[in-house]
Chains A and B, each alone.
Chain A
Amino acid sequence: MVLTWSSVAAAVPEISLTAAICLILLVDVFAGERGRRVTPTLTLLALAVGAALTVRYGHVTERAPLFAGMYVADELGFVLKLAGFLLVAVALLYSRTYLENRSILRGEYYVLALTALLGIFVLVSAGSLLTVYLGVELLALSVYAMVAFDRDSGVSAESAMKYFVLGAIASGALLYGMSLIYGLTGTLDLAEIAARLRAPNTAGVILGLTFIVVAVAFKLGAVPFHMWLPDVYEGAPTSVTLFIGTAPKIAYFALALRLLAQGLAGTASEWVQMLAALAVLTLVVGNVVAIVQSNLKRMLAYSTIANVGFIVLGFVAGTPDGYAAALYYTLVYVLVALGSFGVILLSSAKGFEADLLDDYRGLHQRDPLLALAMMMLMFSTAGVPPFVGFWAKLRIFQVLWETNHLWLVVIAAGMSVVGAYYYLRVVKLMYFDEPPTALPAAPPAARPAAGVRLALGLNAAAVLLLGVLPGPLLDLCARLIH
């Protein structure tokens, strides 16, 4: 096969990102101390250039396999990669002051974020089991290192270790399941696998499928494979929690879509049942356990688990509409998570981690903008209109009705009420409680630039705007899946 420009144009995001990683690594090594100032800006620039190049050259409307079927170029990948650029850029923007105040503003952090993004891209466009695994590992290894980035912090090291060990087991499960599928179908290509797997499936295929479902559930954080998630969210530096909680979710959505819904479509009747059980457990455990948390990061971790339950419900529907609903839910969730962790980052100061719920007492009087943004984000996750989270939940309910899952609707509806309680509690702390009388004395420290606060304001405004006019994003998600 001859490589021509037109045959690789769709891979422009990956190519430009790889080039940027090399460049930033070199600049960071040779620029020395001054590089610390340059690297963050350069990274944001690289992301902007990458996104611009992607829009200019990487837009594909037709689904086309590239590189001998290892790579699939389609519009879904195009949009998810643009979202990845945006999310990582905003996440790094929010994080800068935080990193500076903790003296961990180093070039490696930015390079690791970019390699993680590269892993996301590879995963999003994976056309074969090998590329899937490559993407999963590239993303996971970068993230393990980021969790341990604050190397003087025992908690960070502990959670990185936990993440790494459990993640390795999940990777093992994924590989084992893939090897079974490969052995039984004789191909690594996902489209080929889809063509060769036809019901009724042999026990071997189902065994392989089970391992793959376990791995996907682990990556998404579905109960009972969620154990790592609260510890890592709480233990990692908040900027890393923000990173883990946003862009990788898109990749893991793509993982579930490419592997289960596309590659293993022939086993849908089996995995739908597995996922239904996982979704119910995830919804119940995530929502109920979140109620008793006193640490906001940990509470949001359980809230993530609860939201993953809704995303999995979209897959349980097992229809293109269901996948579109799951995609919409993922994008909406990621947007809201970006803002909520952004608020934690901006509330923190030097020597002060604003990660306890009690740290948010009376935030409204200290910083009305942050409190307003946080309130909007919390009501959005609770699923109250006029915020966008409402439509995400509505869409999931709708696909569940379309596929006659009465009990799942009832459970999901009940659990959203339980969930509303702990989101309301955050609003209560910020708006109804008096601020603590003795505020921790703030040492001289870098303050977030006005632009960062503006970005957070826009983030919250987007949650409102998409909630009032949800049509375009809903249409986009439906178009990408069909």
Chain B
Amino acid sequence: MHGLLSMLIWLPVGAGLGVLLLGDRNILAGRWLALLASLATLALTVPLWAAFDAGSAVPQLTERLPWIPRFDAWYALGVDGISLPLIVLTAFMTVPVVIAGWTVIETRPAEYYAAFLIMEGLMIGVFSATDALLFYFFWEAMLIPMFLIIGIWGGPRRVYATIKFFLYTFLGSVFMLAALIYMYVKGGSYSIASLQTLPLSLVEQRWIFLALLLAFAVKVPMFPVHTWLPDAHVEAPTGGSVILAAIMLKMGGYGFLRFSLPIAPDASRELDLLVIALSLIAVIYIGFVALVQQDMKKLIAYSSIAHMGFVTLGAFVVYEIVRNTHSLRGAGLGLDGAMVQMISHGLISGALFLCVGVLYDRIHSRQIADYGGVVNTMPVFASFMVLFALANTGLPGTSGFVGEFLVILASFNASFWYSALAAVTLVLGAAYTLWLVKRVIFGPVTSPRVAALEDLNGREFVVLSALALAVLVVGVWPAPLLKVMQPSIHHLVAQAIATKI
């Protein structure tokens, strides 16, 4: 079907503007419009998946219209095996956000839904752009709705958090823009494919790599530029946290795969230790930091940083694997793991933030100390929460296991120490997640507020069941996902280990 990607981008944007025009007074119609639009977007990913030829690594379902002839910039879209799963994830995660806000958001609801729908369109745009300028356009434009979401519907320190979020991301992005323009001036095109084949000297690659690293490291986020994330997560409303953790962080990982590795392969090879070291610090140090958190959202935020460390680790162990084993398959394993980890973390962290949201809506506290014995009053909720918590620790049978296992397996081929250090997360992750569950869910009822809790309503049940199903399906049967990615990952490995000098 032609124009499918454009529809995926502009349908939610258009619906968002529609909700905005309906205004707060017609919010009932607005809510239904938002729900229908997000469901329709999700439904559109079915023909997208069906039309996608999993045997090929070239961008498919391409669209190409002249945009700015002067810069040779095109409104060019396309999907490959790396972007397709992320687009589906984006469409999938927006639906629970819309449902979760149904009765909870009372102030300016029309703008709330509009912001999320517009952001959905822009995020799909980021993943499907095959022109670097268009990519950057979506990448930056998305900051505006997120800035407003945290700032308007956030917690007490929302202004500090949202400005910090915006400025950190903006700082990274500006240098990425400078690097993109540099390459345009050199090569005369903004098409990502031509940037990937642009010959660059090692010095140029080094600078470009560092500029891109700054942009993507902030977004992932990697140690030491991660400090905006806990603040943003804690202050954001539930929906904002879900999108932030599930999709926005993935853009950093996507950027590494789409830009850093293919555009600056020699610099990536040279500087891979830097990224690996930062990833391992994120996995271990941030794991310890998560252990001592008193605030549920902050704990999950730190756990996100640790889990995203696996994505960057999986992407950058490629070089040592090839050096040690000369096997491209082994290198692909790390990237496979990085991709699965992104999808899986998107589902699990989103689900955990929704769980915290469920509790927060009832008790209006995120402090772990305010809970205890929730299982006594909310047994159904408790089962979901325990499932997602176990998935977060990487329990086999859930999606969390697949990604982490693949990355640890791949890094064995790079160095024993990488995988040994990365495997610490299995202990740490279990420690902070299960301890959280123990303190919040189990034990005797600690306060009258917990005693008065009511279990999930139908709306919440549907949302959490859908997510639980997705976590289990990816965990038990990841083959379709891996199959779709296969050719693109192979292509990426070939690009990453080729030399441009």
Interface residues of A (CB under 8 A from B): 379, 384-386, 390, 394, 397-398, 401-402, 409-410, 413-414, 416-417, 420-421, 424-425, 427-428, 431-432, 469-471, 474-475, 478
Contacts and interface: CB of A to CB of B under 8 A. Distances in A.
B181 A431 contact: no
A471 B70 CA distance: 7
A470 B144 CA distance: 19
B151 interface: yes
Contact of B184 (A385, A386, A398): A398
B28 interface: no
Contacts of B144: 379, 384
B167 A385 contact: no
Given A384-B143, A431-B148, A431-B152, A424 B174 contact: no
Nearest to A403: B185
Contacts of B184: 398
Contacts of A417: 167, 170-171, 174
Interface in B23-75: 67-71
B175 interface: yes
A400 to B, nearest CB: 9
Interface in B405-463: none
B185 A402 contact: yes
B134 to A, nearest CB: 10
B209 interface: no
A413 B185 contact: no
A384 B151 contact: no
A413 B182 contact: no
Contact of B163 (A401, A410, A428): A428
B378 interface: no
A478 B71 CA distance: 12
B158 A432 contact: yes
B166 interface: yes
Given A401-B185, A431-B151, A424 B178 contact: no
30 contacts: A384-B144, A385-B136, A386-B141, A394-B181, A397-B177, A397-B181, A398-B71, A398-B181, A401-B185, A413-B175, A417-B171, A420-B166, A420-B167, A420-B170, A421-B163, A421-B167, A424-B166, A424-B167, A427-B148, A428-B151, A431-B152, A432-B152, A432-B159, A432-B162, A469-B67, A471-B70, A474-B68, A474-B70, A475-B69, A475-B70
Given A398-B184, A478-B70, 4 more contacts: A397-B181, A401-B182, A424-B147, A427-B151
A107 B433 CA distance: 74
Nearest to A468: B137
Contacts of B70: 471, 474-475, 478
B291 to A, nearest CB: 33
Contacts of B295: none
B140 interface: yes
A144 to B, nearest CB: 39
In the A-B complex, list the 9 residue pairs whose CB atoms are closest, starting with the nearest.
A413-B174, A432-B151, A401-B185, A471-B68, A385-B137, A417-B171, A385-B140, A385-B141, A386-B141
Nearest to A470: B68
A185 B181 CA distance: 41
Interface in B142-193: 143-144, 147-148, 151-152, 158-159, 162-163, 166-167, 170-171, 174-175, 177-178, 181-182, 184-185
B178 A471 contact: no
Nearest to A365: B108
A413 B181 CA distance: 12
A429 to B, nearest CB: 10
Nearest to B153: A432
A372 to B, nearest CB: 10
A292 B189 CA distance: 41
Contacts of B141: 384-386
Nearest to B185: A401
Contacts of A469: 67
B159 A416 contact: no
B55 to A, nearest CB: 35
Contacts of B143: 384
Nearest to A386: B141
A366 to B, nearest CB: 14
Contact of A398 (B147, B159, B185): B185
Nearest to A404: B185
Instruction: Identify which of B136, B143, B158, B174 gathers the most chain A CB atoms within 10 Å of its CB.
Output: B174
A413 B158 CA distance: 26
A416 to B, nearest CB: 6
Nearest to A471: B68
Contacts of A390: 137, 140
Contact of B140 (A384, A402, A475): A384
A304 B446 CA distance: 59
A385 B174 CA distance: 12
Contacts of B162: 428, 432
B26 to A, nearest CB: 15
Nearest to A401: B185
Contacts of A401: 178, 181-182, 185
Contacts of B137: 385-386, 390
Contacts of B185: 398, 401-402
A474 B151 CA distance: 34
A352 to B, nearest CB: 26
A416 B174 contact: yes
A421 B177 CA distance: 19
Nearest to B143: A384
Contacts of A474: 68, 70-71
Contacts of A409: 178
Contacts of A384: 140-141, 143-144, 170
A447 B163 CA distance: 35
B167 A397 contact: no
Contacts of A386: 137, 141
A25 B126 CA distance: 57
Contacts of A427: 147-148, 151
A465 B163 CA distance: 26
Instruction: Identify which of A421, A424, A425 gathers the most chain B CB atoms within 10 Å of its CB.
Output: A424
A471 B181 contact: no
A408 B362 CA distance: 53
A50 to B, nearest CB: 31
B416 to A, nearest CB: 41
Contact of A413 (B68, B148, B178): B178
A464 to B, nearest CB: 11
A84 to B, nearest CB: 25
B13 to A, nearest CB: 10
A420 B178 CA distance: 17
A421 to B, nearest CB: 6
A414 B69 CA distance: 29
Instruction: Identify which of A409, A414, A425 gathers the most chain B CB atoms within 10 Å of its CB.
Output: A409
B355 to A, nearest CB: 27
B430 to A, nearest CB: 39
B163 A397 contact: no
Interface string B371-394: 000000000000000000000000
Given A386-B141, A401-B185, A475-B70, A424 B163 contact: yes
